[in-house]
A and B are shown apart, each in its own frame.
Chain A
Amino acid sequence: MGIEGVGARVARKEDKRFITGAGRYVDDMVVPGMKHAAFVRSPHAHAQIKKIDVKKAQGMPGVIGVLTGKELKADGIGNLICGWMIHSKDGTPMKMGAWSPLAVDKVRYVGDAVVVVVAETKGQARDAAEAVEITYKELKAVVDATKALENGAPQIHAEAENNLIFDWEIGDANATDAAIKAAAHVTRMKIVNNRLVPNAMEPRAALGHYDKAEDHYTCWTTSQNPHVARLVMSAFYNVAPENKLRVIAPDVGGGFGSKIYIYPEEIVCLWASKKTGVPVKWVADRTESFLTDAHGRDHVSTVEMAFDKDNRITGLKVDTIANLGAYMSLFSSCVPTYLYATLLSGQYDIPTIHANVRTVYTNTAPVDAYRGAGRPEATYLLERTMEAAARELGVSPAELRRKNFITSFPHQTPVIMNYDAGDYAASLDAAMQTADYAGFAKRKADAARMGKLRGIGMSCYIEACGIAPSAAVGSLGAGVGLWESAEVRVNAVGTIEVLTGSHSHGQGHETTFAQLVNQRFGVPIDSVSIVHGDTDKVQMGMGTYGSRSGAVGMSAIAKALDKVEAKAKKIAAHLLEADEGDIVIENGALKVAGTDKNVPWFQVALAAYTAHNLPAGMEPGLKETAFYDPANFTFPAGCYICEVEIDPETGTTEIVQFVAADDFGNIINPMIVEGQVHGGIAQGVGQALLEGAHYDASGQLLTASYMDYTMPRAGDLPSFKVSTSNTPCPSNPLGIKGCGEAGAIGSPPAVINAITDAIGIADIAMPATPSTVWAAIRAATKH
């Protein structure tokens, strides 16, 4: 692999600037004449806008403009859209209500943007925002998705009767019902997946700059996919044609999904820049982040899992209600459908599955993909149910899983997915061995002597990454293709720029992508620059989410490298007067295999650009472009084991051991992979033990700051024991499966299985805070 090649633990090139505070984020961008925006947001969860009076605000010091939704509509700016069409089972299209970037007639959640103020300073903009007088007529609000479906619930959008957006199904209902009827045992559960706030370290921000002379717009924004932002703002929101709109996503401080979507603020900053004639910057404060970043999860499900007399699963029936909040965010519809229900087979050979999913409007922040996006919800449902089934059946949770594992590949599940490769027993065995599963009984007894309740829980997850084959997702309703593009530019001195449509906001692409180039050409990674995040530099790209940058983004780079390699070999063969097929690349030189004849890499590059001596008919230059469209999803999988000790007096849970055995396929940089797993588990443990977004009945977000919303801290987490096994992915040229979300997907059920095991109860709500655990212990001991 070489010291900088594929498989090497190379320190991240980008960390120097991040660690020294030299990163360049949207808030660091300064444009001459730049002014500042503040949004006037709804204090109500549901209300009619009766009157907006901006006169007083317009007269405040430093104010340049006070703009409303009416003016925005008059300028032809479009509504925000959800880009994935889902049809209900009766064939009707999803019922998408209008989402104006600035609310016009009605507000639908606390934080809904109504008016924007542009002023000389941020403080003046805020002062003037406070002076905007809006008269509301408050309406009854509903925050709970189940209640929103009830007759008589407040009607949030005229388009969606009873707040139902779609009623969708997948799988075979009749066969599944029959399997449940014929079962020797049926495990039934109600599964709640708690709502989470993403909490990227860098809040969302946008800087819109309209250049009147050029009739051209530039938008700096905190985006995981700047090209998608440009496409959507151009094609759907009518901000500007694509050729007149440049979107730049510079250093971005974490996304976790929440920065995939196009939000009202970047549209408004661009429009307001033209309207006021000045560049307009907005940076969210933390309260705005809590209120308006797309939240994650928030599912309520019932599940029935049928077993035959040999404890083999014969069928799975799931009914889910998913809360999508007040508006349909960009990919909100695919999260509880194609990213969720298609994973309900898990690692198990299940002959028949049926899932019904209803998505619902409520007076809460929009809900969309958050690290894992649908797959954590599927895994939590399945792995909690497997655990409950093992306890009901009186068998070991590990053996019940093992008995039902899929063991031959490819495997077609009853819910679309075709698993290409995997070895689930290998991960289970590795995790159980690392965790000393066999020694648990003794540890439990030792803990009991100390007055502690010790429990162990496992989770065998599978996820689908590398999204996705464009034709496949197109047939399922996606509005875009999910390929990736790459361009490899070899400079005349042999240094290399790789332009990628993937976007790095914590993933370490500047290092791993360079390692791939080093592996191929032997060029030091310091001589390889990764260029991303700018629509003027990179032609097109679909961005980073769904653990796709390795499997899809790097595959596109590999394809471009193939082309560069082929041309470089032609040039070298010509220079060395050898046969092209005999040229190999070794130690930074192109040589004739089995001889000393060679030409260094940089000389080949120079030859390509001097063009003094190229093969006849060859174009000068050494630069190639490739688009890669994946052949299939990839299927990372693994086994997580969590061991906890609970202090019954206070309900405090301590994670005493956490083992992760993952199969990510081939790995470029093990250190970065481990970092991804650590971060993912931290977020998964956060969901299980600490994090929960709570709205009161009137729609006020009670957990709108770190005083009330608990983020995981280092002290909440043990030192993780992580390992990987490796079944290369057959569906892409690099054999990569993806690792970005696994930790967040696999860990919550392992934690909750351990807690319920420790207490000896069937279920406990997430987050299992000390207060919740104490109440559960008290309830259990009363019986």
Chain B
Amino acid sequence: MAVRRRDAAANERASTAGSPCGKCCGRGVFTSGGSGPIRGSGGCASDEMSAFLGGALRSRASHRLWSSAPLCATDTIFALSSGQGKCGVAVVRVSGPASALALRGLTGPDRPPAPRTAALRSIFHPQSKEILDRGLVFWFPGPHSFTGEDSAEFHVHGGPAVVSGVLDALGSLPGLRPAEAGEFTRRAFHAGKLGLTEVEGLGDLIHAETEAQRRQALRQMAGDLAQLYRDWSQRLTQCLAHVEAFIDFGEDDLIEDGVLDQVDNSVAQLQTEITCHLHDGRKGERLRSGVQVVIAGETNAGKSSLLNLLCRRPAAIVSPIAGTTRDVVETCLDIGGFPVLLSDTAGLRETADAVEQEGVRRAREKVEQADLTLVVVDATQLPTDPLQVPVFLGAHLLAVLPHGVGLEESLRHCILVLNKSDLLPVEQVEKTQTFLNKNPGLPPASLLSCHTSHGLENFMTSLQSRLSSLCGDPLAGTPSLTQARHRAHLHECFQALGQYQQYRDVDLALAAEGVRLALTGLGRITGKVGAEEILDIIFRDFCIGK
């Protein structure tokens, strides 16, 4: 009679010697093994100089209420905090306990700047020691800073090469990561640094930033890269599900050890692929900076004429034939000092022509990624009764803008352009313009003629005001920052997979934790994966008998 123990399956493995935990840090006070560690490290004296020199990694987490403790206190974040557009100086802001480290890393250990005083320094890359720029640096020891934490600022020359050089340099330091949308302001809020009136506006700002970031990610993720990340995420989810199955059900069900061998292979494979990807010099097509403005609408409404009018040259072919533009025509413009990437798209209509269908598909994709959409409508089709106008325009907007969750949002990011005003009787032009000025619950609308340029001034004013609010948002249209964020998360993912391998034979719970962390890192790029999804895979792949 064979003797079998419920946990016999994995006993052999337990005896294969594994590496000891090498990552232990002797810091911290023992507080009741998991129940007590809720307490933060308490306040600390603000000896500013010593904080600058030595206390770089000291946590300022306070165990008091949220109002005095920033969320996630120990991460140090950085971002370009000046808006884009034509500017001589760009401001890169760093906040968190490692701010001092960042300042020392980029400007050298000598001569720390006095708190809250400008100091001229050479700024160099901490690894390559290459000089990036010469600029002003500031050191704001907490709590007397915008976020209430230690923070630092680098005021450098505004060129894209310098800015991305500084961002790269910061990203290479331990403990620093690119900021998430609205994180600085969020921290400031939590530190009680914002007044009530400022808080009111903050929500909207965060909203705008999140949206801008979502659109940016969408652009970045379009195409092969998205496919690659999604594939990794799926494989990693599968790995985690199988490890979890082995932990939760391995004892009583026929889940063979082979399951873990498969996971081993997958993890090793993923590690290789992620490293290759991180070291791959090709970053894909360089994403151009600028506010993405897309012209969309029905065929023959005058979209290409509008493009030509805005760039003062015949960049797109115009003709009276509907469906002339079939592909996306892009052009870089400077409008009122703001960098704009203007795209003209194919007219939206049902068509049997395969080429035009593809054009329409691309047009819709463009609209989804746009920061601002100019919806062009043929004004000669406007109903003569002004009361019918909102319904008519509403139907047009619905036909052009993406449906579903994003609709409310897209309405806020669009301008209606009623073209061909020269073909309308003068009194109707006036009547319509007066009516539109009353803002009947529609996005801003301008009546103009691309043919005679009548009404253009009015339209430009409204366009520039939208651009200025969009450019005030430092995160919009900076692909390098999105890329830096993605790289940081991929690096996290890679390191966490190392934890899996380190503990695979020692402690499967800790190994699984590694896969979970890896998936969290990747999830920050591709979207979250929850516990229920893991369980779904477990129950799909295994027959759980008890």
> Do A and B form a real pair?
no
A residues within 8 Å of B by Cβ? none
B residues within 8 Å of A by Cβ? none
